[in-house]
Amino acid sequence: MGFDLGDRRITVPVLLAPLAGITDLPFRTLVSRFGAGLVVSEMIASGEFLTERPGTREKAELGAQIENTSVQIAGREPGPMAEAARMVADMGARVIDINMGCPAKKVTGGWSGSALMRAPDHALRLVEAVVEAVDLPVTLKTRLGWDEDHLNAPQIARSAESAGVKMIVIHGRTRCQFYKGKADWAAISEVKKAVQVPVIANGDVIDAAAARAALSRSGADGVMIGRGAQGAPWRLAEVAHALYGTPAPEVPEGAALIDMVSGHYEAMLGFYGKTLGNRVARKHLGWYMDAANTPPGLRKRLLTERDTQAALDLLPEALSAEVEAA
CA pair distance 155, 190, nearest whole angstrom: 10
Annotated binding residue 171: yes
Q: Is 176 a catalytic residue?
A: no
Annotated binding residue 284: no
Annotated binding residue 141: yes
Annotated binding residue 166: no
Annotated binding residue 106: no
CA pair distance 239, 229, nearest whole angstrom: 11
Q: Tell me which of 102, 225, 268, 311 is the catalytic residue.
A: 102
The secondary structure of the chain, three-state, reads CCEEECCEEECCCEEECCCCCCCCHHHHHHHHHHCCCEEECCCEEHHHHHCCCCCHHHHCCCCCCCCCEEEEEECCCHHHHHHHHHHHHHCCCCEEEEEECCCCHHHHCCCCHHHHHHCHHHHHHHHHHHHHHCCCCEEEEEECCCCCCCCCHHHHHHHHHHHCCCEEEEECCCHHHCCCCCCCHHHHHHHHHHCCCCEEEECCCCCHHHHHHHHHHHCCCEEEECHHHCCCCCHHHHHHHHHHCCCCCCCCCHHHHHHHHHHHHHHHHHHHCHHHHHHHHHHHHHHHHHHHCCCHHHHHHHHHCCCHHHHHHHHHHHHCCCCCCC
Which residues fall in the annotated binding site for FMN?
72, 141, 171, 226-227
> Which residues are known catalytic residues?
102
Which residues fall in the annotated binding site?
72, 141, 171, 226-227
